[in-house]
């Protein structure tokens, strides 16, 4: 089976700006950011999206995403953030490996 692009980032086969990693998750800057500091949090255990992710993996992913969002938002001096998980082609999902978008928002 061919590796998905996020697995290739996990395996350091393609470059990315990694901002966090532990044994279950990895977080890196989105290559095409909606706003400054937009990053993605990816579960290392494979699933496609919210349709098939295991409960434990989802809980861990969301808790990590919130923790990283709070620390990055403070670093960036952002005022808030949006957390997004696209699930399915109809919802605009492009990469079929569960990931959370953290999109910071600023005053201006």
Distances (CA, A) of 11 to 18, 37, 40, 42, 66: 12, 23, 16, 13, 24
b/e per residue 35-48 (b: at least 16 CB within 10 A)? eebbbbbbbbebbe
Active-site residue flag, 99: yes
**Which of 31, 63 has the CB closer to ligand 5GP?**
31
**Which of 28, 81 has the CB closer to ligand 5GP?**
28
What is the rounded distance in angstroms from the CA atom of residue 83 to the CA atom of residue 101?
6
Asked whether position 16 contacts ligand 5GP by CB under 6 A, the answer is: yes
Binding mask 34-53 for ligand 5GP (x = CB under 6 A): ------x-------------
Asked whether position 18 contacts ligand 5GP by CB under 6 A, the answer is: no
Describe the chain by its helix, strand, coil percentages, rounded to 5: 30, 25, 45
Asked whether position 95 contacts ligand 5GP by CB under 6 A, the answer is: yes
- Please give the residue ranges that form the binding site for ligand 5GP (CB under 6 A): 5, 14, 16, 28-32, 40, 86, 92-95
């Amino acid at each position: 089976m061919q590796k998905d692009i996020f697995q290739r980032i996990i395996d350091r086969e393609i470059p990315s700006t990694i901002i966090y990693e532990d044994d279950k998750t990895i977080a890196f800057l989105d290559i095409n950011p909606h706003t400054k500091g937009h990053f993605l949090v990816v579960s290392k255990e494979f699933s496609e999206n919210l349709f098939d992710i295991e409960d434990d993996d989802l809980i861990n992913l969301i808790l990590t995403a919130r923790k990283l969002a709070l620390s990055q938002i403070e670093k960036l001096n952002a005022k808030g953030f949006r957390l997004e998980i696209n699930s399915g082609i109809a919802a605009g999902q492009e990469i079929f490996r569960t990931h959370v978008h953290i999109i910071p928002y600023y005053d201006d």
